[in-house]
C-alpha cells in the first residue's frame, strides 16, 4: 500500500486549537481538519507545513515538535498524516481552501465533524491534556 505523506498543524491560542472546515467542492468538504497539506518532493514535513499555512491562510508560522502520525485509507487514497505543533507568528487568516476556521476547546471539539484521519491527533491532544501538557 502506497501512502501519500501529508502534514497537519496544531496551533493553539488561549487554550483552544485551530481547526478549519473544508470548502464546498473540496475533498472531504464540510469536514473539519487541522490545516496542512501534501509534502512535495524534496521537502521536509516542516517546510511543507510552513508553506501550506502560508498558501492556505496567508500566515507565517514557526513549526515545532512532532506530535503524532495517523494513517488512514479513504476510498481512493491512503494518507500518512504527520502532525506538528505550530505557532502563528504573523499575518491575518484568509481562507483559500476552507470555508471557515474555529478555535475549539478540546472538551468541545467532538461537536465538530472531524475528518477521520485527524481523529487520532485529537485523541493524542486529549491524552496530553490529561497528563498535564497544556497550552
Backbone angles phi, psi at 25, to 5 degrees: 90, -15
- Is 66 part of a structural domain of the chain? yes
- Is 41 part of a structural domain of the chain? yes
Backbone angles phi, psi at 21, to 5 degrees: -95, 130
The number of distinct structural domains making up the chain is 1
Average per-residue pLDDT for the chain: 93
**Is the entire prediction scored with pTM above 0.85?**
yes
Looking at the predicted structure, is the pLDDT value of residue 132 above 70?
Answer: no
Q: Using one digit for the tens of pLDDT, what is the confidence trace for 59-115?
A: 999 999 999 999 999 888 899 999 999 999 999 999 998 999 999 999 999 999 999
pLDDT-derived band at 124 (thresholds 50, 70, 90) equals very high
- Is 46 part of a structural domain of the chain? yes
Q: What is the pLDDT of residue 133?
A: 54
- Is 135 part of a structural domain of the chain? no
Distance from C-alpha of 27 to C-alpha of 81, rounded to nearest angstrom: 15
**Are 117 and 83 contacting, i.e. CB atoms less than 8 angstroms apart?**
no
Domain containing 85 equals: 4-130
Range 19-23 average pLDDT: 94
Q: Is the pLDDT higher at 128 or at 31?
A: 31
Q: What is the pLDDT of residue 130?
A: 60
* CATH, residue 98: 3.90.79.10
* DSSP bridge partners of 104: 17
End-to-end alpha carbon distance in the chain: 36
Contacts of 47 (CB under 8 A, 6+ apart): none
Amino acid at each position: 500500500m502506497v501512502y501519500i505523506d501529508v502534514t497537519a498543524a496544531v496551533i493553539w491560542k488561549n487554550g483552544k486549537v485551530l481547526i478549519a472546515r473544508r470548502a464546498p467542492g473540496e475533498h472531504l468538504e464540510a469536514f473539519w481538519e487541522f490545516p496542512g497539506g501534501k509534502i512535495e518532493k524534496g521537502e521536509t514535513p516542516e517546510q511543507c507545513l510552513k508553506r501550506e499555512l502560508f498558501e492556505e491562510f496567508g500566515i507565517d508560522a514557526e513549526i515545532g515538535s512532532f506530535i503524532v502520525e495517523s494513517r488512514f485509507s479513504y476510498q481512493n487514497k491512503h494518507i500518512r498524516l504527520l502532525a506538528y505543533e505550530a505557532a502563528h507568528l504573523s499575518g491575518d487568516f484568509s481562507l483559500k481552501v476552507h470555508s471557515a476556521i474555529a478555535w475549539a476547546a478540546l472538551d468541545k471539539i467532538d461537536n465538530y465533524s472531524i475528518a477521520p484521519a485527524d481523529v487520532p491527533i485529537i485523541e493524542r491532544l486529549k491524552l496530553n491534556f490529561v497528563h498535564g501538557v497544556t497550552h
